[in-house]
């Protein structure tokens, strides 16, 4: 059984640029959720994908978008980066039909300068 892997681990981007973060879900999991965690804060829910469809979204603007692929891997895209987008981005996979909690990846640390 594989865990959740995220890439890259660290990234530095310039304000206004676009970024794509990637996540490979745990084997057998059909749901992926993305979170943003600012320093010293709890993770904030961005959105969730289930079977390639977005089925829930937090209070984030449309420039945050995502994809889930047939193999349940996922991408988070952020356009027009702002300084406040600097954070740890966490991907979590789960099985919608069973409430056993999330399996998290180690995260991508994004710094916007």
- Per CB under 8 A, residues contacting another protein are 4, 31, 33, 35, 37, 39, 41-45, 48, 50, 55-56, 58-59, 88, 90, 92, 94, 96, 99-107, 109
How many residues does the structure list for the chain?
Answer: 113
Contact 15, 82 (CB under 8 A): yes
CB of residue 2 vs another protein: minimum separation in angstroms? 14
CB of 24 to another protein, least distance (A): 13
Q: Which is nearer to another protein, 16 or 52 (CB)?
A: 52
Q: Rounded to the nearest 10 degrees, how much is the dihedral formed by the CA atoms of 19, 47, 2, 69?
A: -70
Are the beta carbons of 62 and 75 closer than 8 angstroms? no
CB of 45 to another protein, least distance (A): 6
Task: Check residue 57 and give left, alpha or beta (phi > 0: left; psi -120 to 50: alpha).
Answer: beta
- Between 39 and 83, CB nearer to another protein: 39
């Amino acid at each position: 059984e594989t865990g959740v892997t995220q890439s890259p681990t660290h990234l530095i981007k310039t304000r206004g640029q676009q970024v794509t973060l990637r996540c490979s879900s745990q084997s057998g999991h059909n749901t992926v959720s993305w979170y943003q965690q600012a320093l010293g804060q709890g993770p904030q829910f961005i959105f969730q994908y289930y079977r390639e469809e977005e089925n829930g979204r937090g209070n984030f603007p449309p420039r945050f978008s995502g994809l889930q692929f047939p193999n349940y891997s996922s991408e988070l895209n952020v356009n027009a980066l702002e300084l406040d987008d600097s954070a740890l981005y966490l991907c979590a996979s789960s099985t919608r039909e069973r409430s056993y909690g999330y399996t998290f990846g180690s995260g991508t640390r994004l710094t916007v300068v």
